[in-house]
Structure 1
Amino acid sequence: MKYKKLIILISLLFSNFSFSQSNGINLAATRVVFDSKEANASLKINNNSEEKTWLLRSWVSAYNNDEKVKNFIITPPLYRIDPTESFQLRINKINVHLPEDRESVFRINVLAIPSNYNNDTQEKRDSGLQFAINNRIKLIYRPHNLNVPKKVDDAYKALIFSKSENQVHVKNPTPYYITMNDVKINEKSITSIKDFMVSPFSTLIIPEKNAKTISYSTINDYGGKTPTQNIKL
């Protein structure tokens, strides 16, 4: 009996997921910052497997879905990466008409499909399963006039915190996207929100009763963490 192959899609929001790093495709950064003055930006891709060959399909999507956008094109869009190979993806801007007073954010998608099905064991072939892994990281488009290292590094210090009876409000008065990490209220980790990215000139609302303190760090341009901040509400 022949089984129709089923490709199972797994989306990875960060390239440091263990399967991606140790057995397959690894993206060398957790975000790419695109200076508006430049024509393109690059991203290194590594195949950490000593056995698997992967077929890669890459594109830029909106931040909240996988739909391809028209502002950017990735070259090469299709690529066959051999075991232990590394290469550079190039993100090129086309017809970019985005705000100049704030950052814009998108997703870089690198869909990896195993190409060595014929070398799999009979058991794997009979199961009819293949795993397609979609590695997704942030693409931050930064207007050149805002790409000032000191201002970028200090943006998290400008966050303004306030509370109401059942909510904590995090106001971002800066033109930068600020991603909070390790967020705790009253020394308790917050699980009610999956994405703690605060948009420019916007407010993030965290549902939480009787909040007295909040602690957090933020993620910088290189994927590192800033010092933990402890705020009394």
Structure 2
Amino acid sequence: MMNLTMTRKTVSLLSSLAAALTIGAIGLPAHAAIALDRTRVIFDGDQKTVSLNISNQNKQLPYLAQGWIEDDRGNKIQSPFTVLPPVQRVEPGKPSQVKIQSLLAARQLPQDRETLYYFNLREIPPRSNKPNTLQIALQTRIKMFYRPAALAPKKNAAPWQEQLTLTRQGDKYVVNNPTPYYVTIVEASAGKGGKGAAGFEPLMVAPKASAPLNVSAASLGSGPSLAYINDYGGRPQLNFRCAGNACQVVPVAK
């Protein structure tokens, strides 16, 4: 999982209900025309703008690309970050850029921890002149983390995710995050190289917070392994060693 949500939006439906049901029944695939070059945005506190590369994968038609920012509750916002341009035309098969710009209000954000936002990119197809046409637009939603300059990772430092601990409470493991960073857990297994636990649902643990894993502790055994998403979209693994109800990460040998 890449922490990337694709939402189908019906822009115009001129066909009959019967035709729509037929299309749904045969399961025609929907492919995004406007592609984004990443699955998350890290906005460092010492930056004024972050540029995202987009491209129109459709070789025949131009598309509009609309971008905006939401807060952690899903509310569309105009500050402390804004998207420029908010709407642009991307020619067939061509690349372009979207810029996320910080405003003065960004200085008021907490400086002792990350702040979560969401970047949204919606493609708007050209209007069709053909009758009985179903047009589908896709929307990409990815996480955006504002990271204060003081929290910039030190070169050659161990990943901060290695500071996570687990606490067994009944038949659940609780993930404890003592760091000032968000951590997204995407897989849990019983030991290094083990098969992912059935029914596991990815979760994001906020800075200085805890959250339970949704699978049983029994399914993860006494030496659980968790995979997380790093700044680059990779999925490193954390292997834990438990003593009683407390588990700590086994550091990766340098």
- 1:26 alignment counterpart: 35
Say which of 44, 48, 51 aligns to 2:53. Answer: 44
Q: What is the correspondence of 1:140-219 to structure 2 with a 5 Å cutoff?
A: 140-150=145-155, 154-184=159-189, 187-191=195-199, 193=201, 195-211=202-218, 212=221, 213-219=223-229
Name the structure 1 match of 2:116.
105
Measure the CA separation in 1 of the matches of 2:156 and 2:164.
Answer: 13
Q: Deviations over 1:55-96 (max 9, x none)?
A: 111100023425335221100001011111111111011222
Q: Secondary structure at the match of 1:145?
A: helix
Q: Distance in 2 between matches of 1:114 and 1:106?
A: 26
Structure 1 residues 185 and 145: alpha-carbon distance in aligned structure 2, compared to 1, 3 A threshold: same
TM-score by length of 2: 0.74
Could you state the TM-score of these two structures normalised by the residue count of structure 1? 0.80
Query: Measured at CA, do residues 150 and 98 of structure 1 come closer, stay the same or move farther in structure 2, by a change above 3 Å?
Result: same
Matches within 5 A, 1:62-141: 62-65=71-74, 67-94=76-103, 95-96=105-106, 97-118=108-129, 122=130, 125-127=131-133, 129-141=134-146
Letter in 2 for 1:132: A
Tell me: CA distance 1:219–1:209, structure 2 relative to 1, closer, same or farther (3 Å): closer
In 2: Cα distance, 1:37 partner to 1:184 partner: 38
1:220 to 216, 221, 230: 230
CA distance in 2, matches of 1:66, 1:77: 16
Structure 1 spans left out of the alignment, 5+ residues: 8-17
**Contact 1:165-1:209 at 8 Å conserved across structures:** no
**Taking structure 1 as reference, are residues 190 and 43 closer, same or farther at Cα in structure 2, changes over 3 Å only?**
farther
Give the partner amino acid of 1:215. Answer: S
Q: Deviations over 1:127-157 (max 9, x none)?
A: 4x22121111111100001112448861111
Deviates more, 1:163-172 or 1:59-68: 59-68
Match of 1:15 in 2: none
Amino acid at match of 1:220: N
Q: 1:51 to 1:218 in 2, by over 3 A?
A: same
What CA distance in whole angstroms lies between the structure 1 residues aligned with 2:186 and 2:145? 18
Decide whether the 8 Å contact of 1:192 with 1:207 is kept in 2.
yes
Q: Which has the larger radius of gyration?
A: 2
**1:53–1:116 CA contact under 8 A, matched in 2:** no
Alignment counterpart, residue 35 of structure 1, candidates 40, 44, 60: 44
> CA offset at residue 208 of structure 1?
3.2
Q: Percent identity?
A: 30
* Alpha-carbon separation, structure 2, partners of 1:190 and 1:27: 31
Q: 1:225 to 1:207 in 2, by over 3 A?
A: closer
1:191 Cα shift?
3.2
Paired residue total: 209
